[in-house]
Chain A
Amino acid sequence: MNLRHIVHAMARSKTGPLLIAAQIAITLAILVNVVYVIAIHVGLERRPSGLDLDSIFWIVSEGHAPDYDHARVTHADLIYLNSMPGVVAAAASSALPQTGMGWMLGLSPEPEDDGQITPAFVYAMTERAVDTLGLKLIAGRDLRAEAVVPPGQHQETQFAHLAPEIVITQTLATKLFGGESALGKTIHFSPVHRASTVVGIVERLQAAPPLFGSASDMEERVVIAPEIPSGPTALYLVRTEPGRRDEVMAHVEKDFGPTQPGRYIERIETLANTAAAMRAADRTGAIALATVATLVLAVTALGIFGLAAFAVTGRTRQIGIQRAVGARRRDILHYFLLENWLINTVGVAAGSALALAVAVQLATMLSIPRLPLIYVVSGVLCLWMIGLAAVVAPARLAAAVPPAVATRGIV
């Protein structure tokens, strides 16, 4: 019993083996690429946000009265929120982290350096912003009350009077100054013609969920500038002691609105919910892809099993004859396993080529790095195993055919 016989036998009825090989090829192409895309997605999900996500909630209020004084109300609201039992720190902010909203400005270490502009998120926040967001300060200090500048007239002109001191993320510091310490350095904000000194560096702050496929760390380039965000919409972030978020939120929902006239509370929401909502679409996409990949694998495995089973029942007589002329049980078992292995190998070989072709296409469409070969290798091994497992039962059935079958007239 050798390969030549098997190839010879298969050549006589090619259709079945070819179909299985084609099925395995497509399955491998889907499987490898889906697993790769999901792996990238999981990698992005695992990236830390830098925020104390579970203890923060946010409030949006909107001033509507003609005599609504935004700066005064913000000041009073912050005193109220910071004095609530269970609150660690509260601050106003021009944009909500994790949503990707807010202003981006062009930054450079040198003035008017048009060629070297680094876009970054710029948040206007009030004092103790770092503490409010639960960020890890790795150098310098948090924003001080004395540094906070009054609000701009319009949202469009938010940073026209950017404060002289700012806090930035480590990612931005490295981008701008490389290995040197950014503390005490000056950053130029070209669109508003201002320059500010770095007084604090935080380890990490995600302004948005990481963009799928983007190699840059854009979402982690953030500047926090001490400024009362312009109105009449106000956004407050409140960080509570661990485990007391919901209790504090309930209090705020009940009592906060009426503390100031001329404005209303539009929304109160946990930051954890916001972060989850921002990731929901990508997460669902990944789950959908995983489901389809599992289904493809299941259908293919059942197909291999089904065809092998048919091959055995269809060849019962021949098997009987072979047994009668001296083939042992394990010879029969080996024959079927070997035959299947051959089909599998043709399938995974074609599948590897197909998988790589699909991967090239995907890499440009999603702008992700080229598929690492380890995925193809693992996919090939996985399909080999599954193919083998699917054929074991039919092959054992074949091996169990008694030699006496050969002497019977009718199958």
Chain B
Amino acid sequence: MLWHDVRQAWWSFRRSPWLTVLIIGAMAAGIGTSLITLTLYHARAGNPIWWKSDRLFAVTLDNRLVDPQSDGNSRHPEYPPFMLTWRDAQAIYRSDIPVRSARMFASRRLIDPQRPGVPIFRAATRVTSADFFAMFDVPFLYGTGWPRTADEAPEPVVVISKAINDRVFGGVDSVGRSINVSGRPFRVVGVIDGWMPQPRFYDLSGAFDPSEGIFLPFGWTTAWELPAAGPIRCLSNDQVGSFKELLAAECVWLQVWAELASDEQRARYQQFLDNYVREQKEAGRFPRPLNNRLADVSTWLDMNDVVGDKSRILVAVALLFLAVCVLNTLGLMLARFLGAAPISGLRRALGATRRDIVRQHLTEVMLMGLIGGIAGLGLAKAGLWLLHVLLFLPMARQSINPQAQTIAHSMTHLDGQMVLAALAMSLIAGLAAGLYPAWRIGRLQPASFLKSQ
């Protein structure tokens, strides 16, 4: 039966090949464009740690001095600053309510491989606490993270990425070996195995930057007066003339994350934060009303608007285009079916049921949608390749981290989900464009055509 319908459709295509090509081409363009924009959207909209997303919380405190109208985040002036001051990060980290927690910021260090032919290079560095690795389920190739005892009076231990391990140690198990970090020998305790959360949820100041290559215990911040590589925002006019003054100032530049196992724990931690801010209020800080938020990973990605209106607009435009293509197909197919109505009339007279006619015509449109979908998949693949070569790759080459190119690749990767989306879109488009014309043609009285002949 299906075979018969397909053959009927083939004959119909043959009767007006140009129209068929036009409709399939429009469908392909509509589906292809939608796929490209959906792929770009999809790459930005992911939750890289979905399995424990609701247990991990970014901590924000509202230490702003003035009311938020004059603040940078104009869309949501109610959000507290997304980073914390040094002293707040210190104080909050002291709480033992969370199962795990970590303070952190981005920095940079020089790595001297001390191998002939491998030049010295600058590496993006994360300065953080021991819990970072277990909290974020960081996979290790060799070794582990450092113990909590290494954090405060900092031990010269370091966790490195696989890329750094390949570059400095030629990929061998380097645990226990020494690596020269900005002129100091550090002992490697762990090598991370290709961990690259996208978006980089734990620090969204570079949402699509690779994760760092070097991880240092937090105590090195003061011991070494480490520079912050991320943004520093000062909310007051405190004098910032030295590193010590930066640590004391009302300037935000650190992230604090906490893993909270239950709602009860979360409530207690929220209470702890509010109490802390109340204490600070007595000392003259935090002039605004209490506004301390714990944001789980998906809320956090949402607050930071990682997806962005631009990708939403592109998807909307592409889907509208697809709608135009569907309307176009609907109109043309209706006209074509009605034009060929005498043939259907003849078939009805020869014993085909109304359902046969509807099914055969619907098959014809669905087939066009399907072919359009497959062609659209090809178009999307080509379009994404172009975007990769012309946009993402050149942008990644601007980065000091060679892993940025891997991310560039993943941004334009057409994955299995997108193939399924293409299939779904072509079926829906085929149905939307085909149901009404098929129903109309099925409703026609065969006699009205036979009579006129």
Contacts and interface: CB of A to CB of B under 8 A. Distances in A.
Interface of A: 15-16, 19-20, 22-23, 26-27, 29-30, 34, 62, 64-66, 106, 112, 114, 153-157, 160-161, 190-193, 233, 264, 266, 274, 277, 280-281, 284-285, 288-289, 292, 295-296, 299-300, 302-303, 306-307, 310-311, 313-314, 362, 365-367, 410
B335 A280 contact: no
A367 B73 CA distance: 13
B12 interface: no
A366 B75 CA distance: 11
Interface stretch (B241-249, B258-266, B267-275, B347-355): B241-249
A303 B333 CA distance: 11
A277 B327 contact: no
Given A19-B330, A26-B323, A296-B324, A281 B391 contact: yes
Interface of B: 19, 22, 26, 29-30, 33, 36, 74, 110, 112, 119-122, 182-183, 225, 227-228, 232, 234, 237-243, 245-246, 309-310, 312-314, 317-318, 320-321, 323-325, 327-328, 330-332, 334-336, 338-339, 387, 390-391, 394-395, 398, 400, 436, 440, 453
Given A34-B317, A160-B240, A299-B321, 11 more contacts: A15-B436, A22-B327, A27-B324, A62-B110, A154-B227, A154-B246, A156-B240, A193-B239, A233-B122, A281-B395, A303-B332
Nearest to A266: B122
Contacts of A280: 391, 394-395
Contact of A284 (B225, B238, B312, B391): B391
A299 B25 CA distance: 9
B400 A266 contact: yes
Contacts of B320: 26, 29-30, 296
A16 B317 CA distance: 24
B398 A277 contact: yes
A192 B245 CA distance: 11
Nearest to A313: B339
A296 B339 CA distance: 26
Instruction: Please report whether the interface of chain B is mostly helix, strand, loop or mixed according to DSSP.
Output: helix
A156 B332 contact: no
Contacts of B121: 266
B52 to A, nearest CB: 32
Contact of B324 (A16, A23, A155, A277): A23
Most A Cβ at <10 Å: residue of B110, B112, B120, B313: B313
A302 B320 CA distance: 17
B95 to A, nearest CB: 27
Contact of B29 (A153, A264, A299): A299
A114 B309 contact: no
B119 A264 contact: yes
A240 to B, nearest CB: 22
Contact of B331 (A106, A295, A303): A303
24 contacts: A16-B331, A19-B331, A19-B334, A29-B320, A154-B242, A156-B228, A157-B243, A192-B240, A264-B119, A274-B398, A277-B394, A285-B314, A288-B36, A292-B33, A299-B26, A302-B328, A306-B22, A306-B331, A306-B332, A306-B335, A307-B335, A310-B332, A314-B339, A367-B74
A16 B36 CA distance: 31
A161 B241 CA distance: 8
B441 to A, nearest CB: 12
A295 B31 CA distance: 12
